[in-house]
Chain A
Amino acid sequence: MAQFAFLYRGGEPHPQSPVLMQQRMEKWMAWFKDLTDKGHIKDRGVPLDRSGAVVTRGSKHNVTDGPYAEKDLVLGLTVVEARDLAHASELSLRCPIFEQGGCVEVRPILTL
């Protein structure tokens, strides 16, 4: 088994309605539970705030007021175990982020 990072990118902001927000959360929890039950979760990882800064030498851009578009924002990451990149990509397909207009970046974790 190899390890991969799922980077959750972009997606529309959350709806105003608490009911719809809870539904969205429950979809994620169900997806995580499925991956956990099948033994794919190596590290649940961390969620990331939408704000922050991108620092380059001599300058600093606040994330939320650009120039980095919302669609590029990394909003969290998880470490999963899968046979290969194709398998890991397949596992990501049912991630609820796709319903929110976002995407999952699947990256192999470097090992020896």
Chain B
Amino acid sequence: MNSLEHLFRREAGRMVATLTRILGVAHVELAEDAVHDALCRALETWKIHGVPDDPAAWLMTAAKNRALDVLRRERIASTFAPEVASRIESEAAFRARLEELSAGALIADDQLRIMFSCCNPHLTEESQLALILNILCGFGVSEIANAFLSRDETVKKRLTRAKALLASSKRLFDLTDVDFAERLSSVQRALYLLFSEGFHGSSTEEAVRTELCQEAMRLTALLCANVLTATPASFALGALMSLHAARLPSRLDAAGEFTQLLDQDRSRWDARLLHEGQRLLEASAAGDELTAYHLEAAIASLHAGARDAASTPWQAIVSLYDVLMRVRPSPVVALNRALAVAMDEGPDRGLDELRAIEDRARLSSYPFYSAAFGELELRAGRAATAHERFSDALALARNPTERRFLERRLAACGPDGEQGPSKT
């Protein structure tokens, strides 16, 4: 760890948002170039003279100067977004406008508007996420590819197409636009997916996944801080992220191996995040809309409030999953519900539920579907069957961490499933 952690990446995101707002969304590429150039200057200067007292201000000044250079050279000011063009009568006026727009409070606003612009309904969710990570979070192509297990070339193409669409809009999305409510739910969905990719995703690098979670939380906090976007659903989204993120420190044991919820050392859960999650959950209890985020946050909150698996209110959790299945049904939700049923009514009831999952075909390549069978068979004392199920799961493992976890579960079934030591 060092004091500069993520400085370039974070500031790149902030600066691109602000400059895009000033220059107009058609010139997002110019904003990115100006920011890249500012970072190059910082690199060359700081490596010799050290980091200045206020690196963010230094960078922003450098980026603004670069943007001004380009404007001066290319004289393209007149083609700029109408709201800016009228103010660029002289360089002095433009400079004043720059100062005004890049003042603290507005930077958050810029980022929100970019976020809404990125969640264009003409873009796939994958493209929306790639765009958010690239423009708002300062992730490079390889870093995005690494996070989603895609190829660099694929991500590059996706970004090029997405940016072309973004640049074709006349202006940034405005929070007072008529389709605001619809776009807000797309933004929430994108941030939810971003968080999930970090929390459950397939990237092999724990550090990458933690960063995805942190970025999703940072952007969700922006939603919760703006009067227009701070809806009950935004608070619920923030709550579920905080409550889940609180468990991140205990997800890996001392040896760096994956640990399932039931076996986690709950004393390692992050108390500050748990507290923040509860606060947001309370704030979300307004209005008459019950979203999937509310339900997921409520489930996470029940886990967070329980000392251990035995004292967890499983029946209440099953009820919440029942509602969640009505609000946003999915095979993964059904799978989690089945596991809660097993805790409440015993492994055989859980197995019934697992077998009854509609469209379970969609889980056929998901290692934790087979693993759930293995877990419950093992708990029911049928080690040989459990062994088979864990073997199926192992064949589907997506990364070394999953593989090692499933190998350990397999070992818990005893040699060839002959005898299974009881699970602790």
Chain A residues near B (Cβ < 8 Å): 14-22, 24-26, 28-29, 32, 44-47, 75-76, 78
Give the nearest-CB partner of B39 in chain A.
Answer: A21
CA distance A18 to B15 in the complex (A): 12
Chain A residues closer than 8 Å to B51, beta-carbon distance: 29
Q: When A16-B36, A16-B140 are in contact, do A21 and B8 touch as well, CB less than 8 Å? A: yes
B46 within 8 A of A: yes
Residue pairs across A and B with CB atoms within 8 Å: the count is 65
3 A-B pairs with least C-beta separation: A17-B140, A28-B47, A18-B8
- Asked whether, in the complex, the Cβ of A47 is within 8 Å of the Cβ of B44, the reply is yes
The one of A19, A21, A26, A32 in contact with B48, judged by C-beta atoms closer than 8 angstroms, is: A32
Q: Which of B23-79 contact A (CB under 8 A)?
A: 36, 39-40, 42-51
Q: Which of B124-158 contact A (CB under 8 A)?
A: 138-143
CA distance A25 to B12 in the complex (A): 15
- Asked whether, in the complex, the Cβ of A26 is within 8 Å of the Cβ of B4, the reply is yes
- Asked whether, in the complex, the Cβ of A20 is within 8 Å of the Cβ of B47, the reply is no
- Asked whether, in the complex, the Cβ of A22 is within 8 Å of the Cβ of B45, the reply is no
CA distance A62 to B149 in the complex (A): 43
Chain A residues closer than 8 Å to B138, beta-carbon distance: 18-19
The one of B11, B43, B140, B141 in contact with A25, judged by C-beta atoms closer than 8 angstroms, is: B43
CA distance A16 to B159 in the complex (A): 14
The one of A18, A19, A29 in contact with B47, judged by C-beta atoms closer than 8 angstroms, is: A29
Chain B residues closer than 8 Å to A29, beta-carbon distance: 46-47, 50-51
Chain B residues near A (Cβ < 8 Å): 2, 4, 6-9, 11-12, 36, 39-40, 42-51, 138-143
- Asked whether, in the complex, the Cβ of B44 is within 8 Å of the Cβ of A44, the reply is no
Could you list some 12 contacts between A and B, CB below 8 A? A14-B39, A15-B140, A16-B36, A17-B139, A17-B140, A17-B143, A18-B138, A21-B43, A25-B46, A29-B50, A47-B44, A78-B48
- Asked whether, in the complex, the Cβ of A22 is within 8 Å of the Cβ of B8, the reply is yes
- Asked whether, in the complex, the Cβ of A14 is within 8 Å of the Cβ of B140, the reply is no
Chain A residues closer than 8 Å to B139, beta-carbon distance: 17, 19
Give the nearest-CB partner of B211 in chain A.
Answer: A19
- A25 to chain B minimum Cβ distance, whole angstroms, is 5
CA distance A20 to B8 in the complex (A): 9
- Asked whether, in the complex, the Cβ of A14 is within 8 Å of the Cβ of B48, the reply is no
- Asked whether, in the complex, the Cβ of A22 is within 8 Å of the Cβ of B36, the reply is no
Give the nearest-CB partner of B51 in chain A.
Answer: A29
CA distance A25 to B40 in the complex (A): 10
- Asked whether, in the complex, the Cβ of B45 is within 8 Å of the Cβ of A18, the reply is no
- Asked whether, in the complex, the Cβ of B8 is within 8 Å of the Cβ of A14, the reply is no
Chain A residues closer than 8 Å to B12, beta-carbon distance: 18
Give the nearest-CB partner of A14 in chain B.
Answer: B40
Give the nearest-CB partner of A28 in chain B.
Answer: B47
